[in-house]
Every structure is written in C-alpha cells, then in structure tokens.
Amino acid sequence: MFTTSSIIDNLNQSEGLEYKKLCRSLKITKKSDKEKLDIALRALEKLEIINKNANNEYTCTNDGNHIVAKIRCSSKGYCFAVREKNKEDIYIKENLLNYAWNGDKVLVRIIKEGYRRRSPEGIVDCILERSNQILLSKIELINDDVYAIPIDDRILSKIKLPKEDKKYTYKPENKNIVKVEIDRFPIAQEEGLGHVVQELKLNNNEELDTDFVLSKSNILKLGNNNLIESKRIEKRERIDLSDKNSYLFKSWNSDNSPMLPMIQVEKGEDKSTKLWLHTNNLAERVELNSKKSLEIFFTAFEALPLLQDWQNYLGEAIRNASEFKLGEKNEAISLCIYLNSDNEITSWSFHLTLVKCSLIVGSDHTDALLSRKSKTRITSRILKPIKEYIEDLDKILEISTSFRQRHLLEGKVEIPAPVNKIESLDEFFIHNPAEYSKGYFEPLKKEDCQTYLSSIIHEGNLLWFKHSNQLSIKSVGYNLNGLDYINANEIIKYSEFIENDIELNEDGNLTFSQIIKLCNDDNKKRILHKLLINEFKENEVILIPQDSDNDQLEKTFISPWTMPGYDFTNLMNQYCLFNMLINGKKSKKNNIEETNIIESNASKLVNLYIFNPTISKNIDMLFNNFVIDKINEYKKKGSQYKSNMISIKKVREAEKTLGNKYSGLILSVQSYGFFVEISELNVEGLVHVSTLNNDWYEYRSRQNLLIGRKSKKSYKVGDQTEVKIIKVDILKYQIDLELV
C-alpha cells in the first residue's frame, strides 16, 4: 500500500512524473487504489506540497513553509514534532495534531515562533506515513457502541469496531488485550474504524509475551512470505583455503541465531601472522538490484531474539546456503589481515574464498583455555578432544585481546553487560558482536566466546571504512565518538558511589574509566555502570561521508560488513565490497599499469570511479537517506522490543513473589519517588512518594535525593533499603514497591 511519504519520495527522485508513470512506480493497479491516489494528489496540490506542470507531470514544490518531522507524544498529552539534525522541537497542541499519532511522520507548519525558552508552535498539515497499522487495545462499550482504547496512552484516539467485537470486552482478571487492525484512520469529523484480528489473554499466560511485546513495539511477526529468497551464485575464481583450519566462535544457543563469521590464523617465520576473517557470502545470494527486493526488506531490517529462537530478516533458503557448517566447504567473502610480531596491522586485502569449518568454538572452550594454569599440559576434559587446534585458538585469543587493549588506549570505554537471572532471556544477554548502537564495549569474558570474536570483527569493520573511503566507495555505518567525558556536576549526584579522592582535569571533568576505578564496592559499581550507560546516546546508522582523510575519522567511523546475516547495514556494505571484488576497475582510463584495488595500498586510485554507471546506479538505490531513515526506524523498534521483552519477563518474575520482602539498593531518585533494584531477583521497582506517609518529602535535584521536612530522613542513590513487592502491571512493565 502506498503512503503520502512514498508519493513524495517518488516525485523527489525525478524531474516530473505523469500519472501513469507514478502509478507504475507505486505499483498501483486496482481501481480502488487509484481512487485513493487521486484524493491524495488533490490534497497535496491544495496544500501546495506538489504541483502539476504544463505537461501534466507531478513534481514536488520547493516549499520552505513545511518541515518534515515525527510526532512524539507524552502520556500527559504534550505533543512535539521532532525535527532532524538536532533542530528545536515544535510544540503541537492536541487540537492541531489533525489526528496524527505518536511516531507518525508528518509535514508541520510553524504558526508561532519560539522565544526565550519556549518552543515554536506548529500545526500538522499532512500525515506522510503512519507508524501504526495494528493497535494493542482494550475493548470498551461507550453508549452501546464498541470501541478500541489504545493501551499506549500517547495515542490520543479511540477506534470504532463492529458490534460483533463486543465479545472481546476487557476483563481485568483475564488481561485480554486485543490486536486491532485499522481500516480507516480518523479524519475530520469521521471516527477511525477497525476490527479485532487477535485476542491476547495475558493473565498467567507467558506464552503470549513475545507476540504482545512485538505488537507493542510495532514489529511484524514474519512469515516465509515476508522474506526474500536466495538466488543461485555464479561460478567465480576463488582462493581455496578449505585445507586450512577455520574456527567459528559461537555462544548463542539457538540453531537459527544470526550467522557468524569464521577466523583462521597462519603463523609466519618472523613471528608475523596472517589473520583471515571469513564472512557468509550473502551479497552474492541476495538480489539487491530492484525496488521490489528493497520493499521486502522494509518489513524487517534486522534479526531479533525471541525466547526460544530468533526472527531472521532473511529467508531460510539463504541461511541454509550461506551458513558455515562443520566439515563442509563454503563460499566466503574474506579479509586477510597481516600482523607483525606485536599483533599490529601492517596491511590487508579482500578476497573471494572457499573455506571449511574445522571447529565450532563454544564458551566452554574459551573458559577452559583461559582458565588453565599451564599451556604445556592439557588435562581438561573439554580441551583434550580439540588438542590439535589449541595453538591456533591461543593465538586468536591473544590477537583479540591485543586489538581490544589498543582500542581502550585510544579512549574507548568498557562497561559490563547487566547480569541475567532469567533463563528464558539467555539469548538476549549473550554478547552480540554486530551491535554498534552502543557507544561502549562489553569486556572480554572467557564465559562468552563471542566477546573475543567481537574485537576481531570490529577491526575488520574499521578496515572496510578505511578501504572504502580511500577508494571513494559508498558505505553506511556509525560514528563511534562515544562519550569520553562526563561533567563533574553529574557525578556529584552519585557521590555515594565513589571515594573522596577525586582529581578533575582542567575542564572540571572525569573520564569514564576514572569514575569506575574510583568506585570500590561491587554492588555500587554495578549500579554505577547502569547510570553511566544512560549517558550514552544511541548510535544511529548514517551515510558515511566519503574522502575523509583525517586520521582521527578513521578511528571513529565504522562500516559493518562482517555479519550480513544480522542486519541490512552489514549486507549493504558487503554488497559494495563484493562489487569491488568482481566489478571494480583496476586502472585509470588509458593507463596500462593496473593497481590491485583489493589491497590496502590501493589508495593511489582515490580519484578513480571504481564502478561503471550501472553498478553505481544500483548502489545509489540502496545508499540514500530514505533507506537509512527506514533502517533507523526499525532499529529503534528493535531496541524498544528487546528492552521491553526483558522488562516483561522481570515483571513476570516479580509477580510470582507478590508480598515478599527483599533488601534493595536505590538506583535513582525522582520527584515522584525512587527506583530500587532487588539484586536477588535482578528486578527494579518504584517506591512512590505517596507511600511515604510518615512525612512530607521534598525532592532536591542537585543532591539527587528526597528529604523529609520534619524528620530530615533522606533517600538517595546508593542507599540500602528494605522493600516489599505490592503490585505489578504486565501491560506497562511496572513493579510497585513499598518500604518495609
């Protein structure tokens, strides 16, 4: 189905489209869809967003009055249009939303400029794209009519349902939430219409949690019809490395978890090493040269952990053809890194290869390897069966550790992952080596072998940015600036966590590593890690600027390509790398001497267009802001889903212990109460200020505490306290506590 956004996007990509061509671009054939398109075109013309020229071609106007933004609403009814590039948000009164909902992409017109500390005010003139087609709702009867009331209180509309949906009326004892499909969004005086597609009875029914949280995060549960199929790969010349030992490091338990690359080492006579990184050759198998393929990906850009398995964004046929299987030959796209005796990178090259998996390395292997007291005697029952591979594995772990130490010396930060005590969530807490939305590293852990894989593929991803940048090849990825310093004023709030011997730099700041070292209590250090994580902003996928010749940029920009089975960002970059290998020009016009563009010394070709116009056009279809926006939208949904899945399982655990008393640690303090972590259950809950009925408590934000006016009793971050679980809310993922 087309959206207003897709109409404008198609018109933006051309100098003008007449009606029939626009229909073809939008894949509109039905008469009913053409009638809807006619209405949309007339409305856009009246709003002066598009116009029709003398040749009956539609074009977008260069309209300076309208701003593209996304609606963000709070549960208290405040709504803002959030603009790109950190521009000031625009306040939208509820009666000027024109039925735009939280998350919708809209065109906003400013009607009142901001002044002093007040935001500018605006009106929504056009809804470009709806974020919700399915609403999780409670069914209520209002004046004998049946309505769906969204459980998300940021959505300020109710949807009218058919009379037969009365049977789904909400019963608190069942917690029977329903999925409602929207048939017509509210417009002008007309109510929104919809119908129930599924009922979810959540009370004491954990099997429905995944479905509930996916729907609440607005993520489709994919079937095989949503997934792109595999294509047959062509026969090409490849380096045959199948007689060499290659190792697949895997901690994930599920059989259909994201595909992981393999590692291979070859030691030289002068203590140098060739480190091979073999990646699944998805760029050879996935059709990325058409709009049709791209539209399939718009339903999912990333693999997501469920409770028993994963939801993959690629079809099973592609996975079966590309996955590295023990003892079987596989085609791969590989990076060869040349290291000196100090494990420093001296050069690199990219290749098409044939490889074979010799051993799947599990976390039990890395634990045994790194726990043994002597490297000469192999007594462990875990290591004896893999005795012939131990020398290689030791070298791989050594290289990984060296890479990580170098990254930390360059200013990167390590923060441990939270502890998990809920077995069903294990897959969520195993380290994901392809995760770059965080601005920090998880430490290397012998109990999780994927942390050691992470250091190596991180270096491989950095090298692709460096290589592609030198050859002016487009890439997408992340700017890993992180957050090296935190203002001392913030640390004062957490002063109970750290020792008094604090030495600030000349700007009055501390580095993260200094803060963590100053914390001398394990419990408080764990809480401090959580607080520091909140200081990091989520990294978004960006189109990485080309021709960045600054050495510092090569340390901050990263272009992931090594795990294309995990997300579309990796696949896009691998697609460019693959095209460089098979289609890249190796010399300038009329220049007989060829340069090997697969090697690290290829920078002399920086002024050469590596790809012909056809390949460039295919790449441009992928590498544009429209696709990047779609990827970031999905990644935000995925991040929200993972966080909410963890939250609902913690609430389920707390539900089993209602009325029980526990010792806890205060995590944060707000004007309305304070959050306490119960480490025994690994859950957090709120002690609301209204339950503190022995005094009137005043919030002091600078000290981050609540203090009683009469008793002077205070509650601050880091305090130990005794609490009781009094209530849980599955729908809102909330746990309510009171002091004992």
The CATH number of the domain holding residue 151 is: 2.40.50.700
Q: Are 536 and 505 in contact (CB under 8 A)?
A: no
Examine residue 215 and state whether it is found in any structural domain, yes or no.
Answer: no
Examine residue 649 and state whether it is found in any structural domain, yes or no.
Answer: no
Residues 45 and 86 occupy one common structural domain = no
Domain span at 82: 66-129
DSSP string spanning 444-513? PBTTBTHHHHHHHHHHHHHHHHHHHHHTT---EEEE-----EEEHHHHHHTGGGS-S-----TTSEEEHH
Residues 423 and 566 occupy one common structural domain = yes
Distance CA 408, CA 411 (A): 5
Q: What are phi and psi of 396, to 5 degrees?
A: -60, -45
Examine residue 233 and state whether it is found in any structural domain, yes or no.
Answer: no
Please list, in sequence order, all residues whose beta carbon lies within 8 angstroms of the beta carbon of residue 114, skipping any fewer than 6 positions away.
Answer: 88, 120, 121
The position carrying tokens 């091979």 is 276
The count of domains in the chain is 6
Examine residue 646 and state whether it is found in any structural domain, yes or no.
Answer: no
Examine residue 86 and state whether it is found in any structural domain, yes or no.
Answer: yes
Distance CA 365, CA 249 (A): 10
Residues 345 and 446 occupy one common structural domain = yes
Residues 566 and 609 occupy one common structural domain = yes
Q: Are 75 and 86 in contact (CB under 8 A)?
A: no
The end-to-end CA distance of the chain, in Å, is 56
Q: Strands of 50-52's sheet, edge to edge?
A: 17-18, 57-60, 50-52
- Measured in residues, the chain has a length of 740
Residues 76 and 158 occupy one common structural domain = no
Residues 468 and 398 occupy one common structural domain = yes
Q: Are 175 and 169 in contact (CB under 8 A)?
A: no
Q: What pLDDT shows up at residue 293? A: 77
Decide: residue 85, CB within 10 A, 0-12 exposed, 13-18 middle, 19+ buried: exposed
Q: What pLDDT shows up at residue 326? A: 96
Examine residue 218 and state whether it is found in any structural domain, yes or no.
Answer: no
Residues 419 and 520 occupy one common structural domain = no
Structure tokens at 169: 């009326």
Residues 190 and 320 occupy one common structural domain = no
Domain boundary among 107, 129, 151: 129
Q: What pLDDT shows up at residue 227? A: 66
Q: What pLDDT shows up at residue 488? A: 47
The position carrying tokens 């392809």 is 434
Q: What pLDDT shows up at residue 418? A: 84
Q: Containing H/E element for 125?
A: strand 121-129
Residues 197 and 310 occupy one common structural domain = no
CATH of the domain at 712: 2.40.50.140
Residues 505 and 490 occupy one common structural domain = yes
Residues 620 and 553 occupy one common structural domain = yes
For the chain, list residues with pLDDT below 50.
Answer: 488
Strands (E), 192-328: 192-201, 239-240, 246-249, 262-267, 273-280, 304-305, 310-311
Examine residue 206 and state whether it is found in any structural domain, yes or no.
Answer: no
Q: What pLDDT shows up at residue 85? A: 67
Domain boundary among 533, 563, 594: 533
Q: Containing H/E element for 58?
A: strand 57-60
DSSP code of 118?
B
Examine residue 104 and state whether it is found in any structural domain, yes or no.
Answer: yes
Residues 181 and 165 occupy one common structural domain = yes
Distance CA 43, CA 580 (A): 45
The position carrying tokens 């409602």 is 180
Please list, in sequence order, all residues whose beta carbon lies within 8 angstroms of the beta carbon of residue 572, skipping any fewer than 6 positions away.
Answer: 476, 622, 623
Side-chain-side CA neighbours of 369 within 13 Å: the count stands at 25
Distance CA 517, CA 506 (A): 20
Distance CA 40, CA 516 (A): 56
Domain boundary among 129, 148, 163: 129
